[in-house]
Amino acid sequence: MRTAYALVGLPAFTLAFPGMMGINNRDDALTKLKQKREQELAAAEEKRQLLSGVTGALGGALAATLNTLIGNVEAVTENLDPDNKRPEPGYEFIAPGPGDSRGPCPGLNLLANYGYLPRDGHVNYGQVAEATARGFNMGVDLSTVLAVFTILTDGDPITQSWYLGTGPDGVGGLNRHDTSECDISPNREDYYLGCGDNHHLSSRLFKQNIKYVLDDPNHEFSLDAMGNHYAESASFSLKNNPYLYYFPFPSIVSTAAFAFYPQFFSNGTYGAGGVANYESISSIIGAQYNQDSGEFEYVPERWPDNWYRRATEYDAVQALAEGFGVIYPKNPVPMPIAQLGNPATLTPQTILCDIYEGLNSITPLALGGDEEAAANAISSLLGLLTNVGLDGTTLGCPANALSPNAGSILYPNASQPGGPLNLPPTAADARTGNNVYDQVYFMQAPTSPQCN
């Protein structure tokens, strides 16, 4: 608080005692302050011009609205604890290399880009619990709930580790669908409609998100704006994705992710002086606007300059309360049979597919040691389901609605890592594996599987 008072009073102090600030007289002080203000206005104007195409792509908006949307990150820092500024000294941004694992979670990707997590993207529970608390002030109960389920379904229970994107040989990692990763994401397309790409930022979804931010009274990524964004995405998935998967645990990840924007990605503590503005959010999720194309390129996730984490912990109770109390009610997707929300997609085949995906969502990726017999038993049972497939699918699931097989019975019927059977090599390279940056993904809404 003392720091805040000092910052607020600095201009007055400069004018009252110019000699102590290295300024010879009052006129010099006024001149320097005027120059600083002109520089700030010029920088703001440059941002407005750079992003003017965003509003055009959304049907046009008033210049005053864009001014508020861009916001001023520095304006909120006067009331924030300097100990919460991120990144901390010693944590340097380094863009991920070709061998580094990155996937559908922008927050974890960012922490790895700064070295709060291992830069290769192979992380364990202890590292994630510490990094999410230190980087974003996530409560240990929330990080534990998310990590334990991820380890069981996407990682290695022996080492309590997993990969942020895809694992070795395409097996495991957060890119594995129907486990921690879930359909109806704030900025990723559904696995089926994305033709196996559930991990690159979607340009059209971020444009949709901005549309609701412009409608927000404060033009911020508020809970209400994110809830409206969720509602439209849920309607789109219900209409176009016959293999929409929305079982209880993954749906926690889906709905909470929309709340994470204002709660974790805003500059400062949301609701207590922090600002969930465009500059903070776009940088953290890796959305860079290209004025020439009118699209958002996916670039490595990073904190914007002069960014502060929230000052209080965000725990599991608050995440559930906001996810299911604010976001989900905007457009409730029936669980566990999502197709109940669209009778046109409700068939015996899609119901059987839901059942099969539900079994996979609670099936550990790997069991070892004393549990070898249990692992064999699970594989054998799932193999029985494969044997009674319908028309070359597994219990009604087409190949591109299933997570990758890569030789494991836990991933039936998908011979290509991360995607459908028999993908063309170029499509397979673009859609599977770890994140590839500095490209635009999904300029148009994929009403059917988009494989190129």
Q: Can you tell me whether residue 300 is helix, strand or coil?
A: coil
Q: Is 324 exposed, middle or buried (0-12, 13-18, 19+ CB in 10 A)?
A: middle
pLDDT of residue 4: 33
pLDDT of residue 82: 87
**Whether the predicted model's global pTM rises above the 0.75 cut:** no
pLDDT of residue 182: 85
- Cα–Cα distance measured from residue 284 to residue 264, given in angstroms and rounded to the nearest whole number: 10
pLDDT of residue 383: 54
- Cα–Cα distance measured from residue 44 to residue 35, given in angstroms and rounded to the nearest whole number: 14
User: pLDDT for 160-204, tens place per residue?
Assistant: 899 999 888 777 889 888 778 889 999 999 988 888 889 999 999
Please report which confidence band the pLDDT of residue 306 belongs to, taking 50, 70 and 90 as the band edges.
Answer: confident
pLDDT of residue 355: 63
User: pLDDT for 58-115, tens place per residue?
Assistant: 434 323 443 445 443 444 555 678 899 999 999 999 999 988 999 999 999 999 999 9
pLDDT of residue 129: 92
Q: What is the mean pLDDT of the chain?
A: 74
Question: For residue 444, what is the DSSP state?
Answer: S
| Among 184, 172, 311, CA closest to 237 | 184
pLDDT of residue 111: 98
- Cα–Cα distance measured from residue 15 to residue 265, given in angstroms and rounded to the nearest whole number: 36
- Taking the CA of residue 112 as centre, how many other CA atoms within 13 Å lie in the half-sphere pointing to its CB? 25
pLDDT of residue 164: 97
User: pLDDT for 27-40, tens place per residue?
Assistant: 565 555 556 556 64
pLDDT of residue 272: 57
pLDDT of residue 370: 40
User: pLDDT for 207-232, tens place per residue?
Assistant: 999 999 999 988 889 999 999 999 99
Average pLDDT rounded to a whole number, residues 234-240? 95
Q: Can you tell me whether residue 316 is helix, strand or coil?
A: helix
Q: CA torsion, points 416, 421, 424, 428, in degrees to nearest 10?
A: -30
Domains of the chain: 1-36 (no CATH), 46-452 (1.10.489.10)
Q: Can you tell me whether residue 209 is helix, strand or coil?
A: helix
- Cα–Cα distance measured from residue 303 to residue 260, given in angstroms and rounded to the nearest whole number: 15
Percent of the chain's residues with pLDDT above 70: 62
Average pLDDT rounded to a whole number, residues 334-361? 72
Among 152-156, 353-357, 361-365, which is the least confidently predicted range? 361-365
